[in-house]
Structure 1
Amino acid sequence: MLMRFFLFLLHAVLCVSLSVPVFAAEKTVVLASLNWPPYTGTELPGQGASAEVVRAAFNAVGYDVEIRIFPWVRAFNEARHNLDVAGYFPEYKSVEREKYFLFSDRIGKSVIGLVERSSAPVHWDEVADLKKYLVGVVRGYVNTASFDSMVKAGEIRVDESVSDLFNLRKVLAGRVDMAVADINLFNYLSNSDEQLSSRKGELSVNPHLLGINDMHVCFRNGRTGEKLMKAFNAGLQLIDVNGIQQAYFNELYENISK
């Protein structure tokens, strides 16, 4: 009888020890992202402002988050093809992306502008006015619907780079007339990149903004993605998205300026 009791106890312990890692794995979400400061990046505190928002929202509903930073194109492909990765962020909404992903509620806003040489400002009123210029863009990025549709139609000439930093350096060197960039990203790179900061004032944001985009987490289409998106959206309702992002920016820029 005593032996049977010990065998039962051993079986129970083994069942519990085996079930705990499985449960923990189910409560950890793996997401892909890219180096896109100050929103995401390997060298940023907490991996960036958007990463802090995503982590807080998931934590609020009992999930842990693992964020893997890749070059942009790989981040997208990891989220689309690697079943260990549930999605990626931050992303703007687009019809093309909605073929493969479910978009969460808003995790922040991105103000999109055109960075130009201060000595050669561009005057434009409508997107069509940009046809006569060469515009720097990042390969694979969504920008704004009107701009992207004209680029796709071949009506606006663009020069592609692999990153925003390369784009801004091209503007500085006069290789392109302007570059599409998020304003917070431009401000961050203008203060943190040695080449740009040493020539601060030579680049500026055109006063006519290209647009304002909401940012989202993209979850892979399917039952699991839908479950995670619903949980994440519920978590977003429990946190102060704008407050977390603004507090992050305030501290980040204060440290950069020291």
Structure 2
Amino acid sequence: MTWFRALRFCLPFFHIAAVWANAPEPVLLVTESEPPLQYEQDGEIQGVAASVVKAIFRRAKLTPEIQMLPWARAYRQASQQANVGIFSIARIPQRESSFHWIGPIVPYRWSVFRLKSRSDIHLQNLADLHQFQVGVVLGDVAHHYLLSKGFRAFPEGNLNTSATAEIVLNKLRAGRVELMLMSELSCQTPEWHCQHFSQALELPEMGNGLYLAFRKDSDPKLMQTLDAAFATMVKDGTLNQLQQALPSSP
């Protein structure tokens, strides 16, 4: 084989190597298990919120690497490391200045739930929760919300914290806590087996939707690209179409 023929033979491989070398690295995203928003099944991250996030990245021609973690760990990583995204996260005043917000990716409403068998529990307002043991996920929006309203964690107060929502649910079923804050959406999901729970109090002031968020000092070009991708999904109806997979509100 002559030198020219050898070079011509190798050129396509040089091109492929160059494309690989210039390909953007996957963007790390962290989240927690919360059906139907996001959950792991057959080794894949699925759910309505996960589908929206994946669609944003497809529009942006970027690849997400999604890791499922306990919420406190996911939040800590996203809040300490630039260019690491987190979803599905509530946009509350305590977090507003720390993150770049993309969304809302899904609507979300919070309520207080009790066991149906605890018909003795009657709640008229948030202050009534002080009388009961309340289960919350450590570091999540419900935890922050109650702390901002003067509630405190056990043993000083009546908040019983756990690493995941599944643990809190198990505590509620077992009677180890009497109340739990969760979304109306999640309680309609078969995976959470909420048929034994009853809504005790609505919390409309917490319902502002859920977002994809990155630390404020993340790459501006990356943020602009994701913002633009999300905006096109809103405009052409893709976001609304994906959200149709959510269970209907009660």
The two structures have a TM-score, normalised by structure 1, of: 0.77
Q: Secondary structure at the match of 1:110?
A: coil
Deviation at 1:220, TM superposition (A): 2.4
Provide the residue aligned with 1:255 in structure 2: none
Q: Secondary structure at the match of 2:244?
A: helix
* Aligned partner (choices 92, 104, 107) of residue 106 of structure 1: 104
The within-5 A match list for 1:124-163 is 124-143=123-142, 147-151=146-150, 157-163=158-164
Deviation at 1:223, TM superposition (A): 4.6
- Structure 1 residue 203 and structure 2 residue 197: aligned? yes
Deviation at 1:214, TM superposition (A): 1.5
Instruction: Flag the 1:158–1:165 CA change in 2: closer, same or farther, 3 A.
Output: same
- Structure 1 residue 70 and structure 2 residue 64: aligned? no
Provide the residue aligned with 1:24 in structure 2: 23
Q: Identify the structure with the greater helix proportion.
A: 1
RMSD: 3.1
* Aligned partner (choices 239, 242, 247) of residue 240 of structure 2: 242
Deviations along 1:87-111, whole A, 9 cap, x unmatched? 1111011344345422222111111
Provide the residue aligned with 1:35 in structure 2: 33
Task: Read off the aligned partner of 1:60 and give its amino acid letter.
Answer: R
Count of matched residue positions in the alignment of Structure 1 and Structure 2: 238
- Structure 1 residue 212 and structure 2 residue 217: aligned? no
Provide the residue aligned with 1:53 in structure 2: 52
- Aligned residues: percent identity? 26
Deviations along 1:131-163, whole A, 9 cap, x unmatched? 222211011111287533024667962111122
- Structure 1 residue 232 and structure 2 residue 226: aligned? yes
Task: Read off the aligned partner of 1:178 and give its amino acid letter.
Answer: L
Q: Secondary structure at the match of 2:104?
A: coil
Deviation at 1:77, TM superposition (A): 3.2
Structure 2 gap segments, 5+ residues each: none
- Structure 1 residue 173 and structure 2 residue 174: aligned? yes
Deviation at 1:218, TM superposition (A): 1.3
Task: Read off the aligned partner of 1:77 and give its amino acid letter.
Answer: R
| 8 Å CA contact 1:29, 1:66 repeated in 2 | yes
Task: Read off the aligned partner of 1:31 and give its amino acid letter.
Answer: L
| 8 Å CA contact 1:94, 1:145 repeated in 2 | no
Task: Read off the aligned partner of 2:61 and give its amino acid letter.
Answer: G
| 8 Å CA contact 1:29, 1:65 repeated in 2 | yes
Task: Read off the aligned partner of 2:167 and give its amino acid letter.
Answer: F
Give distance in 2, aligned partners of 1:117 and 1:187: 15
Structure 1 gap segments, 5+ residues each: 251-258
Q: Secondary structure at the match of 1:208?
A: strand
Deviation at 1:172, TM superposition (A): 2.2
| 8 Å CA contact 2:110, 2:202 repeated in 1 | no
Instruction: Flag the 1:18–1:75 CA change in 2: closer, same or farther, 3 A.
Output: same
